[in-house]
Structure 1
Amino acid sequence: MLLLAALLATAAWSCGFAQEIPIQSPISITKLKKSAQMICEIQALGGNFDGIIHWYQQKEDKAPERLLFFSGGKMVVDTGFQANRYLVEKVPDQNQYVLTIKDVIPNDAATYYCAYWDMTGYYNKVFGSGTKLIVSDKGSSAPVKSEILKKKHENLITYVCLIEKFYPEVIRVTWTDGEKEITDNVGKGDAWKPAKEEEYSIGSWLTIPAENKNKNYYCKYEHESQQRSLPTKDSTETSREEDCSTYPGNGTVFNRDHLMHRTAYLVYIVLLLKSSMYYLIVLFFIYRMWASTKHQGKKA
């Protein structure tokens, strides 16, 4: 859904002008009957911005719909919305605008975009990155577990970064080499959650030449106010028989559930891969894990 803002921003560049994209916080979690607030900031416009601000509401799998516009200190709510539930205020001496939704109900759950008309050159409406409003009584929770799995295949090494059990689902995952962000040979699946669970998980992968095996890369994630970087030098070699644990009185117990969870997740990643090279690498990885499971099962 947030792809809308990126597409609209790209359209602005295509005309030869680079407008400033309004800055919005990515997510807002609000309980039922409480008030939700979303900030829109217009930066680097050479002074105080006094133009018209528009707010759009986009529900999942639907086109954006204008909610209201704010001009000269006055707000006008579009037909189809309850005017008494919305409020827009401009922060004094700043180019910040705050949208408040009162008495939040489940139907308010959507992504809200602020926008303005830029009249330098062509007449373009520039959209912000969007704020996703989640209506829930559940508070945010940081990832319970995160790790990097490693697999070498011929002259390539693939690192799979797994981040598990977090809420809400909005999370940013990037790869760096310690100095700058890596964008080549990087992939990321969508956040997903098992049935009957509320926490989400996500996976991202990086493929590098085998000659760079001694170089340290980092999988970095940002979720709510938490940030963490995982170094690849601490990654788990997947060819190792790693899911065996010894418990007092029980001998060696093979944790099939944990391994099958990883395998199922990697199958999901394979379905998202577009490159046949990546497909073969990860498929080989899954086969090795399946073979290890079968072998260990006979020993149990």
Structure 2
Amino acid sequence: MLLLATLMAPMVWSYGFAQEIPQQSPISITKFQRSARMSCEITKLLESFDSTVIHWYQQKEGKPPERLLYFSQGKAFVESGFQENRYIVERVSGQDRCVLTIKDVTPDDAATYYCAYWDAHSSTWIKYFGTGTKLIVSNKGTSAPKSYEVLSSENENKLTYVCLVEKFYPEVIRVTWTEGGDEVTDNVVNGEVWKSDDDQYSIGSWLTVPKENKNKKYLCKYEHESNKQSFAPPSTQDLTKTAEKQDCNATSGNSRIFYGDHLMHRTAYLVYIVLLLKSSMYYVIVLFFVYRMRTPAKHHGKKT
């Protein structure tokens, strides 16, 4: 079986004017030896959308991006080196979307795909690249996260939330934080996806806020090929709270193994957070001693 997964990548190649960056979707799709379909939404263009030339780029891992085609006046112009009959481009005017379909996907199509367009600002033209769609080709089916939860920890005047999303496949996932419906980006750290022995993946993300924000409702949200979920921290500070969602089909033995692995990763994240919060204090102490050691040497140098 071929698995085609697409990911909304965090890379942006245009600088400034973030509100004008094309949004690509979906985050992931799965097909069996069929077509891969990805969308690019450009709401900023409004009335000029129909006349705008849309470019699509392909970037393979470790290589620079290469233009795949451009779409102008209702026709796709495919670059040399690509098979013209394998690419279909549609413009959905009412929704300001441009859709790229890749037919008969092969492992060679594995790459990140970006849509782009030119726009004028003052006396210059700027090319805006989309958020990116990563296409993965694999022979394994997908599985939704088996567990997800938010833990919390207080330290002096700060409150730290830890979001754990575990046991999913493929590794394509996006984790974000929201408050009051708006995405929170300040003081957010997303860890790298780690792989377990059963070829499934997990990820952690943490958010640090002032203690006075304790009554605000922060939500952790993940987007995966299988589904989307938003969930809040527990109402208590019980850091040993079990996972909110587990695989109902798992046997008791597998549950014990899964829960032990779950606790191991959770403990590792909590230890990391404690070290992170203390690192600034240790840094100041080290700087103090370095300064004390260097000061006599400087005075001695002036005398000679």
Q: Which residue of 1 aligns with 2:196?
A: 194
Distance change >3 Å, CA 24–CA 258, structure 1 → 2: closer
Does the 8 Å CA contact 2:28/2:172 hold for their aligned counterparts?
no
Query: Which sits farther off after the overlay, 262-271 or 185-194?
Result: 262-271
Distance change >3 Å, CA 30–CA 189, structure 1 → 2: same
How far does residue 86 in structure 1 lie from its aligned partner after superposition?
1.4
1:42 aligns with 2:39: no
Distance change >3 Å, CA 93–CA 134, structure 1 → 2: same
Structure 1: distance between partners of 2:181 and 2:30: 37
Gaps (5+ residues) in structure 2? 1-7, 244-255, 284-304
Distance change >3 Å, CA 25–CA 263, structure 1 → 2: same
Structure 1: distance between partners of 2:83 and 2:281: 50
Q: Which residue of 1 aligns with 2:221?
A: 221
Distance change >3 Å, CA 49–CA 276, structure 1 → 2: farther
Q: Which residue of 1 aligns with 2:89?
A: 88
Query: Which sits farther off after the overlay, 171-180 or 60-69?
Result: 171-180
Distance change >3 Å, CA 180–CA 77, structure 1 → 2: closer
Structure 2: distance between partners of 1:77 and 1:235: 57
1:79 aligns with 2:80: yes
Q: Which has the higher contact order (CA 8 A, sep 6+)?
A: 2
**Could you list the per-position Cα deviations for residues 151-207 of structure 1 after superposition, in whole angstroms to 9, with x for gaps in the alignment?**
34444443322111123333333334556544333322122222451x321111123
Structure 2: distance between partners of 1:86 and 1:42: 20
Distance change >3 Å, CA 88–CA 177, structure 1 → 2: closer
Does the 8 Å CA contact 1:32/1:103 hold for their aligned counterparts?
no
Does the 8 Å CA contact 1:24/1:131 hold for their aligned counterparts?
yes
Gaps (5+ residues) in structure 1? 244-252, 281-300
1:4 aligns with 2:11: yes
Cα RMSD, aligned residues only:
3.6
> Structure 2 counterpart of 1:79, which letter?
S
Structure 1: distance between partners of 2:144 and 2:39: 23
How far does residue 34 in structure 1 lie from its aligned partner after superposition?
0.9
| Equivalent residues in 2 for 1:1-300, closer than 5 Å | 2-5=9-12, 7-8=13-14, 10-11=15-16, 13=17, 20-47=20-47, 48-91=49-92, 95-121=96-122, 122-178=124-180, 180-197=182-199, 199-210=200-211, 215=215, 217-224=217-224, 225-237=227-239, 257-264=261-268, 276-277=279-280
Partner secondary structure for residue 236 of structure 1: coil
Structure 2: distance between partners of 1:72 and 1:133: 27
Count of paired positions? 259
> Structure 2 counterpart of 1:116, which letter?
Y
Distance change >3 Å, CA 46–CA 185, structure 1 → 2: closer
**Could you list the per-position Cα deviations for residues 197-228 of structure 1 after superposition, in whole angstroms to 9, with x for gaps in the alignment?**
1x321111123455665x35433213244222
Structure 2: distance between partners of 1:274 and 1:153: 8
How far does residue 67 in structure 1 lie from its aligned partner after superposition?
0.8
> Structure 2 counterpart of 1:55, which letter?
W
Q: Which residue of 1 aligns with 2:290?
A: none
Q: Give the structure-1-normalised TM-score.
A: 0.71
> Structure 1 counterpart of 2:266, which letter?
R
Does the 8 Å CA contact 2:165/2:204 hold for their aligned counterparts?
yes
Structure 2: distance between partners of 1:72 and 1:136: 35
Does the 8 Å CA contact 1:42/1:49 hold for their aligned counterparts?
no
